[in-house]
Amino acid sequence: MEKVLKKKALGAFLKKLASFGQVYGPVKTDTVRFEPVSHEKQLCLDEHAWFPVKEFLFPQKQVFFRFDGEKIITEDNVKKAVLFGLRKCDLNAFLINDKLFLEGEHKDLFYEQRRNNLLLVGLYCYHELDEFCFCSSMNLQDYHDIMLYDRGSYYQVKAGTPKGEFFIAHLKDTEAFVPPPTTCSLALPTQEIAHLFEHQAWKEGADSCTSCGHCTNLCPTCLCFTISDDVALDGKGERVAEWDSCQYKEFTEVAGGHVFREKRVDRFKHRIYHKIQYFRERFDMSMCTGCGRCIRGCPEKIHWIHLIGKMTQ
Ligand code: SF4
Ligand code: SF4
């Protein structure tokens, strides 16, 4: 059953959600980012969050366990949280990350623990939020606990999971609403780029790239990490996982010093091929959700969608 949430009742709804855990939503400070929210007036609901919410699944630095010289100590300090106002691109990043870390034979228990402690509340986009969004060409799916659709003085509210249903059960019922598909002016011309691998235009993008790794840090589906043991002389220490990036030369360095993607153009191409070609060949869906952050946040403003457009003209 679909529900109605009057906009003037949004504050009360946030309070209801807070019974699950701390509510985080898009807040505008120097930029828009997900911050703790206790009042609806703190929310910025008409701009794209600059940072993705992947830190709720994979903190930049995560301690897997500590050791005291004799035994291993694990800590369970993951807190429950509500992520309010997620856009469909970021909700689809959960779909992709869940596929990688929760399905198949190698489930990631650290990921699972954090994921189970999240309640995902979306806000539907009828149009792009800015000129870097291109989600409407990425075949996104519905993937949320709760989704809100702005209908003027109220939100139409739908649940996508039993967890979501619980938190909207008290709202008034209403008739079903079929939202129009999201429209974006920017579109990825094609996800099939295998035949473009040797195209000279890749060099154009790579020549401006500084391998800073900003694009991978900002991408909601880039979860590559490196593991190290930080051990003191007394044998005490911790095993930590920290974000890594395929844009760094050392990323593919192996014992003996060989680097598999020595050239910048190979690293530049790899990110894009991984997102829209290799992942799709394996899972039948793109690993890119069209959030546009890797272009929006690139210090060189390298526009790989335009680059592919040029190659496919
Ligand atoms: S953010 Fe831009 S400059 Fe930095 S690695 Fe990515 S594409 Fe290159
Ligand atoms: S590749 Fe770029 S547009 Fe696609 S999900 Fe990652 S940051 Fe967003």
Atom of ligand 1 nearest to the CA of 216: 6
Q: Ligand 1 centre from 301 Cα, in Å?
A: 8
Q: Ligand 1 centre from 200 Cα, in Å?
A: 18
Protein residue whose Cα sits closest to atom 4 of ligand 2: 288
Query: Could you give the CA distance from residue 127 to residue 182 in angstroms, rounded to a whole number?
Result: 5
Query: Could you give the CA distance from residue 189 to residue 245 in angstroms, rounded to a whole number?
Result: 26
Non-local CB neighbours of 124 within 8 Å, separated by 6+ positions: 88, 147, 148, 149, 150, 179, 182
Atom of ligand 1 nearest to the CA of 214: 1
pLDDT 10s digits, 243-288: 999 999 999 999 999 999 999 999 999 999 999 999 999 999 999 9
User: Which pLDDT band, with edges at 50, 70 and 90, does 105 fall under?
Assistant: confident
Indicate the pairing of strand 72-73 with strand 81-86.
unpaired
* Ligand of minimum distance to the alpha carbon of 220: 2
Protein residue whose Cα sits closest to atom 7 of ligand 2: 219
Q: Ligand 2 centre from 172 Cα, in Å?
A: 37
Q: Ligand 1 centre from 273 Cα, in Å?
A: 15
Mutate which of 280, 293, 301 for ligand 2 pocket (most atoms within 8 A of beta carbon): 293
* Ligand of minimum distance to the alpha carbon of 205: 1
* Ligand of minimum distance to the alpha carbon of 135: 2
Instruction: For 9-31, give one letter per residue: b (16+ CB within 10 A) or e.
Output: bbeebbebbeebeebbbbbeeee
> Minimal CA–CA distance to 58: which of 241, 215, 290, 289?
241
By CB neighbour count within 10 A (0-12 exposed, 13-18 middle, 19+ buried), where does 232 fall?
A: exposed
Indicate the pairing of strand 225-231 with strand 236-243.
antiparallel
Q: What's phi and psi for 222, nearest 5 deg?
A: -90, 105
Q: Ligand 1 centre from 68 Cα, in Å?
A: 40
Cβ atoms of 277 and 193 closer than 8 Å: yes
Length of the chain: 313
* Ligand of minimum distance to the alpha carbon of 49: 2
Angle at 300 between CA 134 and CA 310, to 5 degrees: 50
Instruction: For 124-163, give one letter per residue: b (16+ CB within 10 A) or e.
Output: bbeebbeebbbbbbbebeebbbbbbbbeeebbbbbbbeee
Atom of ligand 2 nearest to the CA of 287: 5
Atom of ligand 1 nearest to the CA of 211: 5
Q: What is the pLDDT of residue 104?
A: 79
Q: Ligand 1 centre from 208 Cα, in Å?
A: 8
Q: What is the pLDDT of residue 287?
A: 98
User: Which pLDDT band, with edges at 50, 70 and 90, does 171 fall under?
Assistant: very high
Q: What is the pLDDT of residue 298?
A: 98
Atom of ligand 2 nearest to the CA of 275: 1
pLDDT 10s digits, 214-229: 999 999 999 999 999 9
Asked whether residue 77 carries a pLDDT value surpassing 90, the answer given is no
Atom of ligand 1 nearest to the CA of 301: 2
Q: What is the pLDDT of residue 220?
A: 98
Residues with CB under 6 A from ligand 2: 218-221, 275, 288-294
Entry pTM: 0.95
Query: Could you give the CA distance from residue 81 to residue 88 in angstroms, rounded to a whole number?
Result: 18
